[in-house]
Structure 1
């Protein structure tokens, strides 16, 4: 086998798997275009040899290491120009690693440490950047019009000895300069004036960011999560220093709004609200907070309001160095609040050198409302929290949203908030505040109104996706969910709901990927997101990951039916029959009418294999076929002819299993009227073979629900001649002459 010294270049697409999940064919086509139009001409110009492509990357050999780096520099500069002119979603960004080392040649292929080191080095390059080995640097340091940043010696996977690594500074302002990270770190421990001078001198280098120059290995190792490929930010809760707790909601609202607006920027990674508010001691060391959340940058600030004046102090800190990248003090009128927010967001984006798409600029330029009183009510609604809430919390939340709309009917976010409450009511408890049909209509109407006012409103798109999913409109549901994520790619709940829709429309692997992203965005997730994640993992047949999430959600939401239901089935999947039976017992204690027939109707929009999997799990966990443990005897079932006679101009009188008395009348045209002490409704019926099917407006998703009629043999209901069983009711009755 031939050995030789060669310059090896490896290029890899950043985030290729995610891009492929969104548009596999388009991503592959763009990769091939870059290969033929950018890489291959440059490789040929500098006498390189394309050894092979490797899925989303390529391996190239050069005889000259100077030629290899020249090729890499020109490729990245041309790619930067092309990407600047392309929409955000159609950009491919490469990392490139270059190494000079010994290789083994086998036919047309090459192997060995020289190749392996190049591959490891490229992972240390910035997106759109180049990283090189020390052996490469020693040969090229004075031969190209670029600069270098030393990362010192780094340990990389499967390479025994540490390797010197340098990042290439592509900006001409950095040409001829080499900055040493460790040496420079010690020198910056000088008085602040000297440090400021050095920061100003370094500001012109495109690839020279303080965080990349000063990365203490011990600090990075403390991080709970790997740092993302893009600038990562946590907005800590602003502190109200007004001395008046009535302004707490304003400080929390400012925090929320900054998180929401920054979440719209695809070039950033932004930690979710719940996780930043879950950090109780934000007065501690910024590095500790950043390590817990796994972010590079932290924004912190204070807010003080006195009458119409507003004073805001804000600071953006590089957590790896402890240095402030930017700080500002605003002393403005309260009416200037949105202008302050815009300025803060603009300064963050500028400090982190993030490029915005045209759509992102338009979204960030939108003012949510001109009416600050309406905005104040909106903030109060947002602070209430409304997932699996009690009825009073729901009512307060809705009242605040409605007051905001009374003051500004064109406030899209307030319409979307009402839609969000309504879809929760509709999905999770069918007569909670509104009937199912009313909640569904309110959710559709409010989401539609929000989208008329703001076509990119992410929350409204998510609500629409959930409604479309249950309506069986899979393609539209996925499209709406993807639109929501495109509008707000850093919102954990929105990404999590996309994962749910993917899971329930057959894309299990992609659903898991999206849910993992949601949990990374919200590393301390609320119970609602934990339950959602558990359901997604369970649906994707990964109950080992699902169970711990569901258990935590169940403990926080002990009266949430889905937590008990899914956990019982997941225990079966995991082979723990004892825990499954125990969970089913608690489910039936809290919700005695739970039964397989009900869940079968509820999830009739699921894929057949997913529904069968869930029903089999619930059955094995001990969930009964019919409500209240009713067991049917086929010999007692009423046949079609007799059933038709029983609902032809007849009146039924009797009691529900829970003792509620009722009267139900049937005419000759398929209409029915039902009355009890607290219900008076009308509906339609059909006899389908041996089944009696009914539809009452506003009940059970406004669909036909079918059940059976049996002759009654229950000794405790001996006054009733018959029993009518449906997925949600067990009614004992006799026919009134």
Structure 2
């Protein structure tokens, strides 16, 4: 017998006995169709059904992410089966080391996955903490922490998470936007790969490494003489070899490094490699008081810029620098807030945590503008968000630092929601001007141009964003769907939507509206069934709260189209 580490999915049909007592033949046909759908979905996600038991399917996956994707897709696919609904099955997922006995898998891990499934309510997907830790940052959905549960035959309690029905958004949920690597290396091009945390003891310093990677990428991206590929591209690729990074992304140089914080000191090891042959251009070890960390970033930025793009005027370097906090504790608190902010789409608790750390940063240094704006960005995810108060707070952030691109982006979004499209245009254009190489800002600003009926400009920005980052977040890539809808280019819309790894509510709404515009009512109704499987409470009126077109007739056409296809108005 061999052992192997796998993700286990157990899916079971709920209530089959009662259904068969009422209508045996119809029930058998329905159950069989559902189990076939689950099996087909498992295969599509590189899994293997290793056993069946009654009305249950047991499957293994080498990837926990694929296991979660399969469970989500299988659940939503039940909406397309006659006489079946997503509530007819429940799922349990666990990551464990199991025994392989022939084609079968056995062991405590399989039993735990089965018990997770049996403890779930109909239509739910529940996962163990072991699996959640692997998928939390890259999942397409939100999670609800249920707490600890005790299972029969297991000594220790297990922390359990319930998978949300809706596909939420966060910056780690990416979609490949480039099928082939660039044909040639771009001149003056560089990527900053994620720094590695060399933690002292058990202290988690990942927030610090991610923050430094982002800051260095942003600082370089503000220099007009450089082409800076986004950080998320290297995160998704998980490549460390400079030659492979260069081949995949078309960049000439790769910045890499590590950081270690020891009390009041920080040690930064940084290197620059060329990607043609992988040769080291230069490397350095810098050890300074933590309070001088941002000055170190400035030094490294200048050195990289000089190497990659030749001589860059000192005036340009100074102008490109963001306003720095006077208090380094404020910067550390800001990075902690940013770490939670990236995960807001994963679990609701990250909203409060992000706001708490941003507030601590604001209190530690009232002159530091970035946490002031990001606090509003996090707050906007809560039902009690006050648009007017948020606007005043972001205005204060811009008073503190008029050169912060994210503050301008956030203010532009607020002004768009208020219907002040003149002010919104100013802030979006200023954000793009301040961060010309920021794929995230380019992609987010594209929405404004879609809303003011300048969809071609939106597509240009999305092209720019995809050139900078071949692994943009899904909810930026889907902005192309909205732009193509406005332009009436439905075939392209369908192609873009089909290529997305996940179908969000917004993408499905535009697909439904486009199908109705084409007169394809049957297909539109099938998509309504799919979107209701994702979010049973969704209404057509939801569109009015999410889409902010200057021409309100476009919004009303969207609402009326999805309502005519079968989505309730309220």
Q: TM-score, normalised by structure 1?
A: 0.49
CA distance in 2, matches of 1:476, 1:349: 34
1:562 paired with 2:506, answer yes
Instruction: Tell me the equivalent position of 1:444.
Output: 391
Q: Is the 8 A contact 1:470 1:605 kept in 2?
A: no
Distance 1:366-1:518 versus aligned 2 partners, 3 A rule:
closer
What is the match of residue 222 of structure 2? 264
Q: Name the residue aligned to 1:622.
A: 566
Tell me if structure 1 keeps the 8 A contact 2:444–2:476: no
Indicate the SS of the match to 1:303: strand
What SS does the corresponding residue of 2:284 show, helix, strand or coil? strand
Aligned pairs for 1:573-584 (under 5 A) are: 577-584=521-528
Question: Match for residue 513 of structure 1?
Answer: 460
Q: 2:383 aligns with which of 428, 434, 454?
A: 434
- Cα distance in 2 for residues equivalent to 1:598 and 1:246: 40
CA contact (8 A) 2:543 2:555 kept: no
1:258-307: per-residue Cα shift (whole Å, max 9, x none)? 0111121122111222222222242xx21111222221211111222322
Deviation for aligned residue 1:445:
2.2
Q: What corresponds to 2:276 in structure 1?
A: 320
Q: Could you tell me how far 1:404 is from its partner in structure 2?
A: 0.9
- Displacement of 1:230 in angstroms is 4.6
- 3-state DSSP class of the match of 1:328? strand
CA contact (8 A) 2:421 2:550 kept: no
Q: Are the equivalent residues in 2 in contact too, given 1:286–1:319 (CA < 8 A)?
A: yes
**Equivalent residue in structure 2 for 1:350, among 306, 314, 325:** 306
Q: How far apart are the structure 2 equivalents of 1:322 and 1:287? A: 5
Higher relative contact order (CA 8 A, sep 6+): 2
Aligned match of 2:351: 394
Distance 1:322 1:601, change over 3 A: closer
Q: Identify if the C-alpha distance between structure 1 residues 358 and 466 changes in structure 2 by more than 3 Å, giving closer, same or farther.
A: farther
State whether structure 2 residue 255 is matched by structure 1 residue 292. no
Cα deviation 1:412-443 (Å, max 9, x = unaligned): 110121122234x2xxxxxxx333xx431343
Deviations 1:73-105 (A, max 9, x none): xxxxxxxxxxxxxxxxxxxxxxxxxxxxxxxxx
Which residue of 602, 606, 610 corresponds with 2:554?
Answer: 610
Larger CA Rg, structure 1 vs 2: 1
Q: 1:527 aligns with which of 474, 486, 499?
A: 474
d(CA) in 1 for partners of 2:501, 2:239: 27
| Residue 80 of structure 2: aligned partner | none
> What is the CA–CA distance in structure 1 between the aligned matches of 2:418 and 2:378, rounded to whole Å?
18
- For residue 361 of structure 1, report the CA deviation from its aligned partner: 3.0
Q: Does the CA-based 8 Å contact 1:419-1:460 persist in structure 2?
A: no
**Is the 1:422–1:442 contact (alpha carbons within 8 Å) kept by the matching residues of 2?**
no
1:105-124 aligned within 5 A: none
Alignment correspondent of 1:484: 431
1:604, CA displacement in angstroms? Answer: 6.5
- For the residue of structure 2 that corresponds to 1:415, the secondary structure is helix
Does structure 1 conserve the Cα–Cα contact (< 8 Å) formed by 2:439 and 2:466? Answer: yes
1:334 offset after TM fit, Å? 2.1
Q: Is the 8 A contact 1:227 1:294 kept in 2?
A: yes
Distance 1:232 1:576 in 2: 46
Kept after mapping to 1: 8 A contact 2:432/2:441: yes
The answer as to whether partners of 1:369 and 1:375 remain within 8 angstroms in 2 is yes
Give 1:330 shift: 1.2
Task: Summarize the Cα distance change of 1:309–1:452 in structure 2 as closer, same or farther, 3 Å threshold.
Answer: same
**Secondary structure of residue in 1 paired with 2:237:** coil
Check whether the contact 2:456–2:483 (CA below 8 A) recurs between aligned residues. no
Matches within 5 A, 1:463-478: 463-478=410-425
Which residue matches 2:266?
310
> Whole-Å Cα distance in 2 between the matches of residues 549 and 415 of structure 1?
36
Instruction: Measure, in 1, the Cα distance between the counterparts of 2:400 and 2:486.
Output: 35
Q: 1:233–1:295: 8 Å Cα contact kept in structure 2?
A: yes
Q: Return closer, same or farther for 1:573/1:280 CA change in 2, 3 Å cut-off.
A: farther
Residue pair 1:420, 1:459 contacting (<8 A) in 2 also: no
Aligned equivalents of 2:281, 2:490: Cα separation in 1: 44
Q: Using a 3 Å threshold, how does the CA distance of structure 1 residues 543 and 273 change in structure 2: closer, same or farther?
A: farther
Q: Deviations over 1:685-729 (max 9, x none)?
A: xxxxxxxxxxxxxxxxxxxxxxxxxxxxxxxxxxxxxxxxxxxxx
1:532 deviates by 3.1
Equivalent in 314, 319, 340 of residue 296 of structure 2: 340
- Judging changes above 3 Å, is the alpha-carbon distance between structure 1 residues 335 and 517 closer, same or farther for their aligned structure 2 residues? same
CA deviation vs aligned residue, 1:517-541 (integer Å, no higher than 9, x gap): 1122221112332333433333333
1:674-693 to 2 correspondence within 5 Å?
none
Q: Distance in 1 between matches of 2:185 and 2:447?
A: 23
Confirm or deny: 8 A CA contact 1:262 1:345 kept in the other structure: yes
Displacement of 1:495 in angstroms is: 0.7
SS of alignment partner, residue 446 of structure 1 = helix
- Provide the rounded CA distance (Å) in 2 between the counterparts of 1:588 and 1:506: 29
Inter-partner Cα distance in structure 2 for 1:253 and 1:597: 38
Structure 1 alignment gaps of length 5 or more: 1-221, 426-432, 628-737
Equivalent positions of 1:82-101 (< 5 A) are none
Q: CA separation in 2, counterparts of 1:549 and 1:344?
A: 39
Instruction: Give 1:397 deviation, angstroms.
Output: 0.9
- Specify whether residues 511 and 358 from structure 1 end up closer, same or farther in structure 2 by C-alpha distance, changes over 3 A only: farther
Runs of 4+ in 1 over 6 A off after TM superposition: none
- Quote the Cα distance in structure 2 between the aligned partners of 1:580 and 1:393: 35
> What is the distance in 2 between the residues matched to 1:356 and 1:621?
57
Question: 2:531 corresponds to which residue?
Answer: 587
SS class of match (1:352)? helix
Distance in 2 of aligned mates of 1:341 and 1:421: 26
SS at match of 1:278: helix
Distance change (3 Å), C-alpha of 1:333 and 1:604: closer
Question: Deviation of residue 588 (structure 1)?
Answer: 3.8
Contact 1:496–1:515 (CA<8 Å) still a contact in 2? yes
* Shift in CA distance, 287/604, structure 1 to aligned 2, threshold 3 Å: closer
Q: Distance in 1 between matches of 2:442 and 2:402?
A: 18
Aligned residues: 390
> 1:582-631 CA distances to partner (integer Å, 9 max, x unpaired)?
3312434555564445635765643256336534642453334x32xxxx
Preserved CA contact (<8 Å) 2:440 2:472 = no
Q: Which residue pairs with 1:383 in the alignment?
A: 339
Whether the 8 Å contact between 1:371 and 1:407 is mirrored in structure 2 is yes
TM-score by length of 2: 0.62
* Aligned partner (choices 369, 372, 394) of residue 412 of structure 1: 369
- Checking the alignment, whether the CA contact within 8 Å between 1:461 and 1:480 is kept in structure 2 is yes
Q: Is 1:268–1:354's contact at 8 Å kept on the other side of the alignment? A: no
Asked if structure 1 preserves the Cα contact closer than 8 Å seen for 2:322 and 2:404, the reply is no
Q: Is the 8 A contact 2:189 2:308 kept in 1?
A: no
Mark the runs of 5 or more structure 2 residues left unpaired by the alignment: 1-178
